Chain A
Amino acid sequence: MTQPTELPRWMDVALLPAVNLAIALLVAGGVVMLVGFEPGQVLALLVKGAFGSRSGLSYTLYYATTFVFTGLAVAVAFHGGLFNIGGEGQAMMGGLGAGLVALALGPHLPAWLVLPLVVLGAALAGMVWGAIPGALQAWRGSHTVITTIMFNFIAAALLSYLLVNPLREPGNMSPETALFADSARVPRVHEALAWLGIEWPSSPLNLSVLLAAAAVLCTWLALWKTRGGYALRAVGFAPDAAQYAGIRPRWLILASMAASGALAGLVGVNEIAGVHGRVLFDFVAGAGFAGIAVSLIGRNHPLGIVLAALLFGALYQGGSEISFEVPGFSRDTVFMLQGLIVLFSGAMAQVAAPALLRLWRAAGGGRSTQAKAGP
């Protein structure tokens, strides 16, 4: 009665998340129906918009790239037992960092030198923005949940100030910087493919997608193959055991929040150096929060995050397409679905578990292996 329902592994990893996702889709579908659309039609259009054309697919991947970064950020912090809700702010700072490097060095250096530095700038800026709450948690005990939320707002204020005043392009009415030099812009995939002789429709998808893949690989390696990852996971799962093992939690907490911030900061590479080519204000547009949803349904595992990011990318792109084709439909349906996913796959993730277990037992499952519970 007091123990959480112990589900067999396959149910825990695959069935329950699928059920939760299905419930979220059902509820969203219900709302969609309520406002007068055909959920089936909407879903079909969504899938077609996301995957049905090369252009749509490219857009899906472009969105997914950003979500991979913010999703990994949340996951890395989570493995250390911390909540990083500051993805928005860290991504903003990442964009700023990328932009500053791009503006300063772009005109003077060739692309192969500038671009790595741009990536570095984005990562460092995000890292700092994550490290401060991390340090405050490790040394002062300030809860990352609140501090990272506060830092989101502080980042917004900082970015706003910089874009309105010192960094604003002279003569420009909008708060944005000048365009970067070409060498400081991440090449688009369709440009790269053209260079290889392959024709591909134009889209915002840029080579940051490769960076995202690299980030997934590095995160996976770091968490499961390195001593740091081992120690971090121990601290996150069992702080007493970590202390027993001689692991010092403070530096680990700082490192994990710093890494988390750096990952979120890479959004700046995709959006600022990849797509917009200048620093502007609202380029993150909720990706930090989407990252929370992505990490939740991806079960905080890099592979799951890739799949979840693709799902969300598809939702964003599909939603965008539908809003062009179906009057009255807007992207906010996707935001709503996002929230419902966080609700059913996150906050209420275990609600369906007892029912599922009962159904399975009634269907005759689990006779031979009873879950072992140590005394």
Chain B
Amino acid sequence: MATAPAVAMRHIEKRFGAVHANRDVALTVAAGTVHGIVGENGAGKSTLMSILYGFYEADSGQIDIEGKPAFIKGSAQAIALGIGMVHQHFMLVDTLSALDNVMLGAEPGWRLTPARAKVRQQLQALMQSTGLQVRLDALVQDLPVGERQRLEILKALYRGARILILDEPTAVLTPQETEQLFVTLRGLRERGTTILLITHKLKEIMALCDFVTVMRAGQVVLDTAIAETSLDGLAQAMVGRRVNLGREPDGRQGPQPGRLLMSASGLWATDSLGVPRLQDVSLALRAGEIVGIAGVSGNGQSELLDVLSGLLAPDRGELQVGDRRFTPTQWLTPDQARALRVAHVPEDRHRRGLVLPFGAWESAVLGYQDRPRYNIRGWMRQAHMHQDTADMMARYDVRPRNPALRSSKFSGGNQQKLVLAREAAPLPQVLLVGQPTRGVDIGAIEFIHGRLRAMRDAGGAILLVSSELDEILALADRVVVMNAGRVAGELAIEACSEQALGRLMGGAQ
């Protein structure tokens, strides 16, 4: 008799406002297998798993767990059904021990000492049978990242998870730790645990999984056994057939890539947990080109932008802007960057790009408040500020055309146009742009793209970071793909094929 699939999701629909995150998604996961879920950002895989884990409820559709219909309204029910999730951002209390972290919320009894003894026994048996090793009495803050992740898995197993969902587990691991994780996961599979692996790393899928489901734009585009597909097949499915893929270089006016404006070499950066975010990244920006940084979010693109704009100093590396050279001990600062005619449209316009409670006329000089035009011996020149804001609004069609209106009252597209207008106004040589059209309506997207092209044609260099591959392909002259903090590869726009891009983004090269 065939065992019922561990998970069977049918006709799952989920919308967030205008965004159709899951469209008629079907997912069947056989018991005791490792099943990969692949896709870029926004493909819908995180939403689907969140529905399975009870974080969201689907608008419609059915879910069967181990053959029985299930109504998952919250994480408590998911846990009761044997579903455990290991999040990308660990849910741990640093100041408590590993043991206490596992136990919290499911303590056997109200007195800790006997409860701890009982849990310790159970955990030791669990660690024995799965091969997962965690120092139970160490404080989480003293554990390295790989061990913290094992702790998260242990936590899920302790609560009786028979279906384990892992969300981008290897994002924070070293290659050795990744290998260890694979050994663990294979061991768990032998024990009959069903594993769902959310990832965009194609090599890992091929190495570890039995089955794979590829999602794109909210839909399932490929659902097959690993044996019946290949790395290239996955890459192609993930990126998909795109119009304008690998376009011929458009007939640009203006000079071909000209002189070197900014060059970074050997950038290394680690975050507060010791996880390397940039590994030996080098980049050159020349006049008259748009360089697109492609890759699934979280692979170092944000850190790259922060380092190049002066918000973050790397651990190692060098930066040359014009004739100034910067090293980690004396790194570029945001005001120096602006003085060197490097402008920055930040990824997060709400927290960095604008001061939401300020009127548009005050946000419009953010970063430029010390320029003589706006500041005379400490006094702000409000007439100029208002005037320039009005100009910017006219040039970039920001609506409503009211410089006095609070920044928070503008729609996303208009806020973005305002930020772009501000950064473009002093005619920078280098423009660093992060997610320029996130949350922006179609009309504004076209407008913004047009402006970026115009800046390039006028001889500027643009570094475009975007999680929308379409956008990169529409604008970039050359595409640099980042993966795990490294430059995975670089392609001229005419050489961009689904395969080539997919492989690079999936970490295959």
Contacts and interface: CB of A to CB of B under 8 A. Distances in A.
A and B co-occur in one complex: yes
A227 interface: yes
Interface stretch (B170-178, B221-229, B350-358, B488-496): B350-358
Interface in B134-170: none
A246 interface: yes
Contacts of B57: none
Interface string A136-169: 0000000000000000000000000000000000
Interface string A220-262: 0000011111110110011011111111000000000000000
A375 B439 contact: yes
Interface string B364-388: 0011011000010011101000000
Given A372-B410, A374-B412, A227 B439 contact: no
Contacts of B370: 227, 246
B505 to A, nearest CB: 25
A374 B378 contact: no
A374 B439 contact: yes
Interface string B406-427: 0011111001000000000000
A374 B351 contact: no
B367 A244 contact: yes
A243 B350 contact: no
A244 B410 contact: no
A244 B350 CA distance: 12
A309 to B, nearest CB: 24
A244 B342 CA distance: 13
Contact of B311 (A227, A234, A243, A374): A243
Interface in B419-467: 439
A234 B334 contact: no
Contact of A244 (B352, B357, B382): B352
Contacts of B353: 241, 244
Given A238-B351, A241-B366, A372-B411, A226 B378 contact: yes
Contacts of A242: 355
Contacts of B351: 238, 240-241
A243 B334 contact: yes
A247 B344 CA distance: 15
A375 B311 contact: no
| Chain A interface residue bracket vs B | 20 to 34
A229 B378 CA distance: 9
Given A246-B335, A374-B350, A241 B355 contact: yes
A233 B382 CA distance: 16
Contacts of B354: 238, 241
Nearest to A228: B378
B356 A245 contact: no
Given A240-B352, A374-B350, A375-B439, A245 B334 contact: yes
A344 to B, nearest CB: 23
Given A241-B366, A244-B311, A227 B355 contact: no
Contacts of A246: 310, 333-336, 338, 367, 370
Nearest to A235: B355
A81 to B, nearest CB: 12
A87 to B, nearest CB: 25
A237 B362 CA distance: 13
Nearest to A372: B409
Contacts of B309: 244
Contacts of A228: 378
Contacts of A240: 348, 351-352
A374 B375 contact: no
B376 to A, nearest CB: 9
Contact of A374 (B334, B382, B408): B408
Given A244-B346, A374-B411, A238 B311 contact: no
A374 B369 contact: no
A3 to B, nearest CB: 12
B356 A237 contact: yes
A66 B333 CA distance: 43
A374 B355 contact: no
Interface in B299-349: 309-311, 333-336, 338, 344, 346, 348
A145 B380 CA distance: 31
Nearest to A375: B439
A245 B408 contact: no
Nearest to A246: B335
A77 B410 CA distance: 29
A336 to B, nearest CB: 33
Contact of B379 (A225, A238, A375): A225
A230 B385 CA distance: 12
Contacts of A227: 369-370, 375, 378-380
Contact of A245 (B367, B375, B380, B382): B367
Nearest to B17: A375
B138 to A, nearest CB: 27
A231 B370 CA distance: 10
Contacts of B362: 230
A229 B356 CA distance: 16
A229 B355 CA distance: 14
Contacts of B379: 225-227
Contact of A238 (B334, B356, B415): B356
Interface string A332-375: 00000000000000000000000000000000000000011011
B456 to A, nearest CB: 24
A243 B352 CA distance: 8
A231 B356 contact: no
Contact of B366 (A234, A371, A374): A234
A244 B378 contact: no
A245 to B, nearest CB: 4
A237 B355 contact: yes
Contacts of A231: 369
Contacts of A226: 378-380
A4 B259 CA distance: 50
Nearest to A245: B367
A240 B353 CA distance: 9
A228 to B, nearest CB: 7
Contacts of A247: 369
For B309, B352, B415, the residue with the greatest tally of chain A CB atoms inside 10 Å of its CB is B352
Nearest to A222: B378
Contacts of B408: 372, 374
A244 B375 contact: no
B386 to A, nearest CB: 13
Contacts of B415: 374
Contacts of A372: 408-411
A374 B409 CA distance: 7
Interface in A207-227: 225-227
Contacts of A245: 334, 366-367, 369
Contacts of B346: 244
For A237, A242, A243, A244, the residue with the greatest tally of chain B CB atoms inside 10 Å of its CB is A244
A237 B363 CA distance: 12
A242 B356 CA distance: 12
A178 to B, nearest CB: 42
A277 B310 CA distance: 55
A372 B413 CA distance: 12
A240 to B, nearest CB: 5
Contacts of B411: 372, 374
Interface of A: 225-231, 233-234, 237-238, 240-247, 371-372, 374-375
16 contacts: A225-B379, A227-B370, A227-B380, A234-B366, A238-B351, A238-B354, A241-B351, A241-B354, A241-B355, A244-B334, A244-B344, A244-B352, A244-B366, A246-B333, A372-B410, A372-B411
The 7 closest A-B pairs by CB, nearest first: A246-B335, A375-B439, A246-B334, A245-B367, A244-B352, A238-B355, A240-B351
Given A225-B379, A225-B380, A241-B355, 4 more contacts: A243-B311, A243-B352, A245-B366, A372-B408
